[in-house]
C-alpha cells in the first residue's frame, strides 16, 4: 500500500511521512524504526494492536493483502476511493471486532462473502460503486447495522425480507443495480431511525407499500429516491405524513392517480420529481405552500391546469425554482409562466 500511495511532484510518498514546523522537514515513518502505530492512516489501541486503518483516496492499487485479516482487533477499515480490485476475501471473517467496513469506489468484483453476516458488530457497510454481483446476502441484516451502501454494482435478485431485522438502519442505498421483485410490504414498520432510502434505477415492480412510510419514521425521513423502476399504483398517502422530507424522487415509473393536495404539508421539501408517470388531474394549488422547493419535475404525465403562481414568485435573494411540465406546443395541457423546461404533450 505504501508504494501505491499518493506522491508529490518529485515522486516522494509524502502522505506516509511526518512533516513538522518550523523547518517543515519531513521524516519517513513507514518501513522505518517508527512503530506501526505512527504510520500514516493507522490508529492503535492502548496495547498497540491496530484499531483503525483509514486510507481513503490514496491511489492504492492491487488486491487486499491477506495480512490485513490478521489484525483481529481492528474496528474500522476505510479504503474508499482507491484503485483496489479482486474479490473481497472470505478471511474477512477473522475480524470479529470490525464495526465499519468502507470499500466504496474501487473495482472489486465477485460476490459479497456470506461470512460478512457473521458480524453482529458491523454498523457501517459501504460497498457501493464497485463491480460486485450476485444476490445481496440475507445474513447481512442484523440489529447492529445502521448504514448499508451496496449501490452502483450489479446485484440481482430481490430485496431480502430479512432487511426488516435491521431496525436501527439509518441509511439504505441499493440504487443502480438489477434488483427485481417488490418492496417488502412491512418494511417501514420496523424502522425507527431511517432518514435516507435509495432504491432508484432497478427493476422493482408492484405498488409502493404504505408500510414503507410508517408513523414511526415520520420525524426522520429526509430523502427518498424510488425513480427509474416500474412501480404501479398511486402515491401512498402515508408518504405525505413525512413532514421532514426534503427530497422525493418517484419519476420514471408507472404511477397513476392524482397529485394529492396534502403535498402542500411537506413544507421542507426541496426536490419533488414525479415526471414520466401516468398521473392525472390538476396540479394542486397547495404546492404553492412549498417555500423551500428548488426543483419540481412533473412533465410527461397526463396532468392539466396551471402551475401555482406562488411557485413563480421569487423572493429577493432566492434562486428561482427549476420547473419542468407539459407546457410546450400550441395547445399545452399545462399553463406555466415560469417553467424552465416545457415538454411537448405526447
Same domain, 243 and 99: yes
Rounded to whole angstroms, the Cα distance separating 226 from 299 reads 17
Q: How many domains is the chain built from?
A: 2
Element (H, E) at 169: none
Taking only the tens place, the pLDDT of each residue in 211-224 is 777 655 556 889 99
pTM recorded for the entire structure: 0.90
- In this predicted structure, the answer to whether residue 139 has a pLDDT above a threshold of 80 is yes
Same domain, 25 and 53: no
Q: What is the mean pLDDT of residues 87-103?
A: 92
Residue-range definition of the domain harbouring residue 19: 1-29
Q: Answer with the residue of higher pLDDT: 312 or 218.
A: 312
Give me 343's grid cell.
Answer: 415538454
Residue 329: per-residue pLDDT: 86
Rounded to whole angstroms, the Cα distance separating 240 from 227 reads 17
Residue 148 lies in a domain: yes
Contacts of residue 150, defined as CB under 8 A and 6 or more positions apart, other chains included, come to 112, 125, 127, 128, 132, 136, 173, 174, 177
Same domain, 49 and 10: no
Are the C-beta atoms of residues 338 and 312 closer than 8 Å to each other? yes
343 — pLDDT class (breaks 50, 70, 90): confident
Rounded to whole angstroms, the Cα distance separating 226 from 206 reads 12
Residue 66 lies in a domain: yes
Element (H, E) at 303: strand 302-306
Residue 239 lies in a domain: yes
Same domain, 140 and 167: yes
Rounded to whole angstroms, the Cα distance separating 80 from 114 reads 21
At residue 36's C-alpha, the angle toward residues 31 and 42, to 5°, is 115
Taking only the tens place, the pLDDT of each residue in 245-287 is 999 999 999 999 999 999 999 999 999 999 999 999 999 999 9
Give me 1's grid cell.
Answer: 500500500
CA distances from 78 to 114, 124, 125, 260, 276 (A): 20, 11, 10, 44, 39
Residue 89: per-residue pLDDT: 92
Cα dihedral 185, 188, 189, 192 in deg (nearest 10): 170
Amino acid at each position: 500500500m505504501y508504494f501505491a500511495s499518493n506522491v508529490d511532484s518529485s515522486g516522494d510518498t509524502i502522505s506516509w511521512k511526518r512533516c513538522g514546523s518550523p523547518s517543515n522537514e519531513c521524516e519517513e515513518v513507514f518501513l522505518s524504526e517508527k512503530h506501526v502505530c505512527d504510520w500514516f492512516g493507522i490508529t492503535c489501541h492502548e496495547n498497540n494492536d491496530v484499531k483503525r486503518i483509514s486510507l481513503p483516496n490514496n491511489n492504492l492499487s492491487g488486491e487486499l493483502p491477506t495480512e490485513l485479516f490478521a489484525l483481529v482487533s481492528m474496528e474500522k477499515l476505510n479504503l474508499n476511493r482507491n484503485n483496489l480490485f479482486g474479490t473481497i476475501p472470505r478471511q474477512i471473517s477473522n475480524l470479529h471486532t470490525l464495526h465499519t467496513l468502507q470499500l466504496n469506489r474501487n473495482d472489486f468484483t465477485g460476490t459479497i462473502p456470506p461470512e460478512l453476516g457473521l458480524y453482529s458488530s458491523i454498523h457501517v457497510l459501504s460497498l457501493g460503486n464497485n463491480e460486485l454481483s450476485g444476490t445481496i446476502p440475507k445474513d447481512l441484516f442484523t440489529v447492529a447495522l445502521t448504514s448499508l451502501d451496496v449501490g452502483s454494482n450489479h446485484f440481482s435478485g430481490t430485496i431480502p425480507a430479512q432487511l426488516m431485522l435491521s431496525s436501527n438502519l439509518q441509511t439504505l442505498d441499493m440504487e443502480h443495480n438489477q434488483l427485481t421483485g417488490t418492496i417488502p410490504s412491512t418494511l417501514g414498520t420496523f424502522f425507527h431511525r431511517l432518514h435516507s432510502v435509495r432504491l432508484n434505477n432497478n427493476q422493482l415492480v408492484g405498488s409502493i407499500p404504505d408500510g414503507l412510510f410508517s408513523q414511526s419514521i415520520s420525524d426522520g425521513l429526509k430523502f427518498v429516491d424510488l425513480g427509474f423502476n416500474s412501480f404501479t399504483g398511486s402515491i401512498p398517502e402515508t408518504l405525505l405524513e413525512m413532514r421532514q422530507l426534503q427530497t422525493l424522487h418517484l419519476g420514471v415509473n408507472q404511477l397513476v392517480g392524482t397529485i394529492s393536495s396534502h403535498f402542500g404539508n411537506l413544507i421542507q421539501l426541496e426536490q419533488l420529481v414525479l415526471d414520466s408517470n401516468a398521473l392525472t388531474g390538476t396540479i394542486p394549488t397547495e404546492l404553492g405552500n412549498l417555500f423551500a422547493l428548488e426543483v419540481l419535475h412533473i412533465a410527461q404525465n397526463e396532468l392539466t391546469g396551471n402551475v401555482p403562481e406562488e411557485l413563480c414568485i421569487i423572493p429577493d435573494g432566492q434562486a428561482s425554482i427549476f420547473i419542468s411540465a407539459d407546457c410546450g406546443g400550441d395547445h399545452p395541457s399545462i399553463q406555466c409562466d415560469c417553467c424552465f423546461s416545457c415538454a411537448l404533450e405526447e
